[in-house]
Structure 1
């Protein structure tokens, strides 16, 4: 479904990604593990068209999308939920969600169905729909951010550090929801530092360090890897 082939990205003279090869198959939930600054967000920004690789290829559904604009990539079915949520705090929850459906703005009936699906997935957002998004708890704001991305009806959802700053119980609930989103048919690429939680739901994963993919494998392979356990999970 998604394939990065020898993708290299630079910020000025500094190389942020070094010949990265990564793929997500239809229906998969794949995790990208790495510390802060390792290159996870750079990969996401490159897939989303916000950064242009200096070499290599990004392909989606068999088509090269390396030169596409971000809005064209969203219309094709790749939608990113960014780290930090980036909500409009003074706007209502409902308006934030509606903005996520901008590319479908002429399909009023479809937007109504998407909202209904969102409220079934996150019932608290229906209760809070008229409240300013900035007044919600951190966990509820993260729900709004994920829900806003889902309003664009993605084929592939990019989730960048959804567990940051959340209490352990909320993280557990959040990951169960992400697993359900995937089970309902949306492919997911999940960037995370919380390897323990992420590897409970992912089928496969990659480990990135300093812009290099240093390890990849099935969930069991990564869970059993001594370096991964020491760096990201704990003994």
Structure 2
């Protein structure tokens, strides 16, 4: 579904990522691991079309996307749920969700179905659909951010640090929902620092350091890798 080949992104004279090679098959959950600033978010931005490639190639479903506009990528099914949620705090829960469906705004029946799906995944959002997004708890805001992304009807859903700042019980629930979304046929690319939780649901992963991939393998291989366990799992 997605293939990055020798991708690099420069911001001026600073190289944010370099020699990045990633493959994501349809139906997989793939995790990008690494500390803050390691290059995970820049990789997401390069896939979305927000950050332009300095070199290399990126393909989605066999089509080149390296120079494609972000809005076209969303229409084609590449949807990013950004780190920090980026909600509209003074808009209601339902208004935020409808903003996620903007590229499909003429398809009223599909928007209704998408809303029902999001409310099925996150019943608390239905309960609070008239509340302002800024009044929600951190966990509820993360649910809303994921729900808004789902309203764009993604084929590939990129989740950037969805567990940051959340209580352990909420993190566990969040990863259960990510698994459920994947079972519905949506491919997941997940950037995480919570390696143990992420690898427990992933098919494979890539470890970033200083903008480059230093280790890659199946989830079981990474969980068994002593260096990965010591650096990211604490065991």
Short-chain TM bin? over 0.9
Counterpart CA distance in 2 for 1:69 and 1:184 is 27
How far did residue 23 of structure 1 move?
A: 1.0
Tell me the TM-score normalized by structure 1.
0.99
Partner of 1:45: 45
How far did residue 114 of structure 1 move?
A: 0.5
Counterpart CA distance in 2 for 1:53 and 1:3 is 14
Tell me the TM-score normalized by structure 2.
0.99
Partner of 1:90: 90
Residues 86-122 of structure 1 deviation map (CA, whole Å, 9 limit, x = unaligned): 0000100000000000010000011001001111110
Write out the 4+ residue segments of structure 1 that deviate beyond 6 Å after TM superposition. Answer: none
Aligned partner of residue 119 in structure 1, secondary structure: helix
Partner of 2:188: 188
Residues 106-152 of structure 1 deviation map (CA, whole Å, 9 limit, x = unaligned): 00011001001111110010000000001000000000000000000
Aligned residue pair count: 235
Aligned partner of residue 4 in structure 1, secondary structure: strand
5+ unaligned residues in a row in structure 1: which ranges? Answer: none
Partner of 1:81: 81
Counterpart CA distance in 1 for 2:211 and 2:24 is 19
Counterpart CA distance in 1 for 2:170 and 2:191 is 17
Aligned pairs for 1:62-81 (under 5 A) are: 62-81=62-81
Partner of 1:145: 145
- 2:31 paired with 1:31: yes
Residues 3-60 of structure 1 deviation map (CA, whole Å, 9 limit, x = unaligned): 0000011010011111100011000000000000000000000000001111100100
How far did residue 182 of structure 1 move?
A: 0.4
Aligned partner of residue 84 in structure 1, secondary structure: coil
Counterpart CA distance in 2 for 1:123 and 1:3 is 35
